[in-house]
Amino acid sequence: MDLDLTGRHALVCGASQGIGRACAVELAKLGANVTALARRAKVLKQLVEELPRTHTSQMHDFLVADSGDTDGLRAAAEKLVAAHPVHILVNNSGGPPPGPAHGATIDAFLDAYRKHLIANHLLAEIVIPGMQAAGYGRVVNIISTSVKEPIAGLGVSNTTRWAVASWAKTLATELAPFGITVNNVLPGSTKTPRIKQIVQTRAQKSGVEVEAMQHAMESEIPMRRFADPSEIAAAVAFLASPAAGYISGINMPVDGGRTRSL
């Protein structure tokens, strides 16, 4: 199986922590040159120093940008691809704040769409010409299992994820003739700062201890545990590899078997 990404350039968004950071690490382990995008320069600089290097010519760098600032994101990404075309794009950003759909503000929807759907589309549009020229392209979007089964209490998030999934499926069909694949990875509960926030919110609302809430959530998962971010990143790295060249337009849950639907 060909997992070698030597000479490929991966742009990994939301890379300063959690799943994005784990993706940067796994792609680097397969030999890719990684550009880590997020908002905090200091954290990214440290990450770039720590990323694995499998060969002497492997180079990593970082890009400071905010997925909610469309113009700033465009300028940063255009500058990047002008110097180094991108072959692998991992679309990822912080999840929208929890809360029901009923009562959610228009601004909450607009903000989530801007940081996810719009940012993903903007970046894809900027990197696709380089992928076409290289005859190799991988777009992997980190979404959520809520694409298959909307999650209670995540109204804005559920809605936004579905929009991203539909965008990705459409794009996958359009780009397939160019050797570019577009896929979604759907994490289940994963041990990152994001899940800590969700567990705390649910515990507070139910009036139970955080540990008890985590235990209750874990017991709903057939594997009885949350994922390690590296387990989500392994799926992303595989989809980014040459070995996954005939896989496009899919939603891949990585959730310990939690999703009940087919």
For 246, counting Cβ atoms within 10 Å of its Cβ (0-12 exposed, 13-18 middle, 19+ buried), the class is exposed
Considering the complex, state which of residue 63 and residue 136 has its C-beta at the smaller distance from ligand NAD: 63
Q: What is the DSSP letter of 9?
A: E
Token pair belonging to 146? 């809520």
Considering the complex, state which of residue 121 and residue 194 has its C-beta at the smaller distance from ligand NAD: 194
> Locate tokens 């939301």: which residue?
14
Least Å distance between CB 43 and ligand NAD?
8
Considering the complex, state which of residue 67 and residue 251 has its C-beta at the smaller distance from ligand NAD: 67
Least Å distance between CB 135 and ligand NAD?
30
> Locate tokens 């009923």: which residue?
102
- Three-point CA angle 150, 254, 178, nearest 5°: 95
Least Å distance between CB 116 and ligand NAD?
7
Least Å distance between CB 247 and ligand NAD?
20
Helix (H, G, I), strand (E, B) or coil at 247: coil
CB 165 within 8 A of CB 251: yes
Binding residues for ligand NAD, rule: CB under 6 A, are 14-20, 38-39, 66-68, 92-95, 115, 142, 144, 187, 189-190, 192-195
Considering the complex, state which of residue 184 and residue 248 has its C-beta at the smaller distance from ligand NAD: 184
132 Cβ neighbours under 8 A, 6+ residues apart: 178, 180
Least Å distance between CB 165 and ligand NAD?
12
Least Å distance between CB 29 and ligand NAD?
18
Identify the CA nearest to 141 among candidates 246, 248, 8.
Answer: 248
C-alpha 157/C-alpha 147 separation (Å) is: 10
Considering the complex, state which of residue 39 and residue 84 has its C-beta at the smaller distance from ligand NAD: 39
Considering the complex, state which of residue 4 and residue 218 has its C-beta at the smaller distance from ligand NAD: 218
Phi then psi for 64, rounded to 5 degrees? Answer: -90, 120
Token pair belonging to 113? 């769409």
